[in-house]
Amino acid sequence: MTSTYDLLNQRLSVAFDSLVPGADPVLRPSDRGDYQANGVMALAKQLGRAPREVADDVVARVNLEGIARVEVAGPGFLNLTLTPGVFGRQLRGMLDDPRLGLPVTTTVKTVVIDYSAPNVAKEMHVGHLRSTVIGDALARMYRFAGHTVVARNHVGDWGTPFGMLIEHLLDLGEDEAIASLSIGDLDSFYRSARVKFDADDAFKERSRARVVALQAGDPETSRLWKILVDQSVAYFAEVYAKLDVTLTPGDVVGESFYNDMLDDVVADLVRAGLLVESGGARCVFPPGFANRDGEPLPLIVQKGDEGFGYAATDLAAVRDRVSNLHADELLYFVGVPQAQHFEMVFAVARLAGWLPDSVRCEHVAFGNVLGPDRKMFKTRGGETVKLVALLDEAIERADAALVGRGTELDPTERSILATQIARAAVKYADLSTDRERDYIFDLDRMIAFEGDTGPYLQYAHARIRSIFRRLGEPWRSDAATFALANDAERDLALGLLAFPEAFEAAFRTLQPHRLCGYLFDLAQRFTSFYEACPVLSSKGALRDERLALCELTSRTLHLGLSLLGIEAPEQM
């Protein structure tokens, strides 16, 4: 189905285009009339004519079928009001469409989404939470739009620390080490290794030798390394399950995966004349990057003694994703601090010819999670906060909130619901803030059933489902027609019909907060409607109409939340 916005936009575009080819009507939803076109002023400027006169000209050229009223306001805004007939047809189209008007793409793209990416034998912290939650929401949106998503969990599984980690594993004994890693005690494992490394010269020596053995592919060393990787990946999978994130162990393609490709990367760079020896390292100096003193900034591909690093791996990954996975889009969900790293990697990949202009390549950056003191979120002891600990606390609070509300659920049901609410709280708080801004991690605010929160939206959905439960009889929307005699009904209808644009805006700009804002607005429109318009006590056609609006609202909330990775329980 064509969305209401598109329908109107097409009509207006024809009229605008006949005056200046390609002119944009700049159509927006509006509270004066149903929609407002703001493009007349720009058009008038181009034509060198008075805006109000041009406005009249546009109106005379628009196909007005389905448009009840056009009003020229102010310096030349067009306020458009639709006929009930158009509303009726569009709402019916939505009722009959499981996708609620969200289109399926006609040009399927392969999109490689790099997200989550924790590090082996290190705890997942709040930075990984943001990457995981935002990346997963976008992965769901891309899949729903009909694209082919290749998730890449680029875990840190290689580098010099693995020497000391393997030696520490041997000191502990394999069983003991596995036991400590499998309970997710990753940080203390890492810390103990580090302490020994710093204090004990013999251990340091062993660790160094172990790195060499690892890089040389020594079979026993590789086996021990794999224990660390497998245990960590299994632990990450538990965290993903707890968060209801779609990543699977099969999506883990860690840094080590690219080891075999690094020689080819270097060969390509040499052939392209890009590789330069500098300070004992092999570097590329992409134009346009300078340090504070204005000196050219190197992307270090290979350090003299230590071999390849983070940048080399990312270069190999771009190369692999474009040439082997045939990606049309590459998206990296990584924090703002890595902005320069990615700019340089992309620049070098373009210079090397691995990244054609036709491939959209973006570092989808996000801000920090802050503590109540507005500093980086840390425990009282100054350590990074364990992601699972946060989730567990959120579940406890959600459970307490349910008990406080006098829930009648049995303990199993209650624990499932508490988990769903906790996930919604944590994910929505993250997704609903403008991605690039920092936000304060405040569980009390996130879990509240009122305000712009995940649980509020879940509750709005569950409340509508309870209307249908109270109805006590099966109800089918087939008979519903839409007169929209009440303003609150009309406002709700307009909100419902704006779903495709809200999705499109969030999707196109990779900004899930736009979808969040839309859903929150819709829930508020529903509340006003429900206050003004009795549903179950109304009769006949009016009751069918209102039930149909309830049905559409609950379906929109359900689908909208699911695209964000948030469940909408039937009952709360």
Tokens describing residue 570:
């039937």
User: Which neighbouring-strand residues pair with 302?
Assistant: 282, 308
Q: Does 119 bind ligand ARG (CB under 6 A)?
A: yes
Residue 235 engages ligand ARG in binding (rule: CB under 6 A): no
CB of 330 vs ligand ARG, minimal distance in Å: 10
Q: Report the residue from 42, 252, 334, 522 that binds ligand ARG according to the rule CB under 6 A.
A: 334
Closest CA to 257 of 155, 111, 165: 155
Tokens for 419, please give them. Answer: 């988990």
Minimum CB–partner distance for residue 352 and ligand ARG (Å): 17
Element (H, E) at 300: strand 299-303
Tell me which residue of 464, 559, 426 sits closest to 502, measured CA to CA: 559
In whole angstroms, how close is the CB of 334 to ligand ARG at the nearest point?
Answer: 4
Beta carbon of residue 154, minimum distance to ligand ARG (angstroms, whole number) = 4
Question: Do 426 and 397 contact (CB within 8 A), yes or no?
Answer: no
Binding mask 155-184 for ligand ARG (x = CB under 6 A): -x----------------------------
Residue type, 120: V
Question: Which span sits near ligand ARG by CB under 6 A: 100-108, 111-119, 393-401, 429-437?
Answer: 111-119
CB of 373 to ligand ARG, least distance (A): 24
Q: Nearest residue to ligand ARG, using CB? A: 117
Q: CB nearer to ligand ARG: give 266 or 318.
A: 318
Note the Cα 38 to chain centre separation in Å.
Answer: 31
Residue 129 or residue 177: which is nearer to ligand ARG going by CB?
129
Calpha distance 52→331 (Å, rounded): 45
Specify the residue, 172 or 347, whose C-beta has the smaller distance to ligand ARG.
347
Nearer to ligand ARG, 213 or 317 (CB): 317
Written as six digits, the tokens of 269 are 């760079």
DSSP 146-179: T-EEEEEB--B--STHHHHHHHHHHHH-HHHHHH
Q: Which of 285, 332, 459, 520 binds ligand ARG (CB under 6 A)?
A: 332
Alpha-carbon distances of 362 from 21, 114, 316, 357, rounded to whole Å = 32, 10, 16, 12
In the bound state with ligand ARG, the residue whose beta carbon lies nearer, of 299 and 548, is 299
Nearest approach, Cβ of residue 128 and ligand ARG (Å)? 7
Residue 324 or residue 412: which is nearer to ligand ARG going by CB?
324
CB of 159 to ligand ARG, least distance (A): 10
What does the angle CA 117 – CA 568 – CA 426 come to, to the nearest 5 degrees?
Answer: 40
- 117 lies in the binding site for ligand ARG (CB under 6 A): yes
Q: Distance between CA atoms of 531 and 519, rounded to whole angstroms?
A: 18
**Of the candidate residues 3, 23, 77, 114, the single one contacting ligand ARG (CB under 6 A):** 114
CB-based contact 395:419 (threshold 8 Å): yes
Compute the distance between CA of residue 116 and CA of residue 135 in angstroms, rounded to an integer: 7
CB-based contact 113:139 (threshold 8 Å): yes
Q: Are 558 and 464 in contact (CB under 8 A)?
A: no
Q: 147, 154, 525, 558: which one contacts ligand ARG (CB under 6 A)?
A: 154
Stretch that binds ligand ARG, among 46-54, 113-121, 270-278, 401-409 (CB under 6 A): 113-121
Size of the residue set binding ligand ARG (CB under 6 A): 9
Touching ligand ARG, residues 280-319 (CB under 6 A): 314, 317
Q: What is the 3-state secondary structure (H, E, C) of 351-384?
A: HCCCCCCCCEEEEEEECCEECCCCCECECCCCCE
Binding stretches for ligand ARG (CB under 6 A) = 114, 117, 119, 154, 156, 314, 317, 332, 334
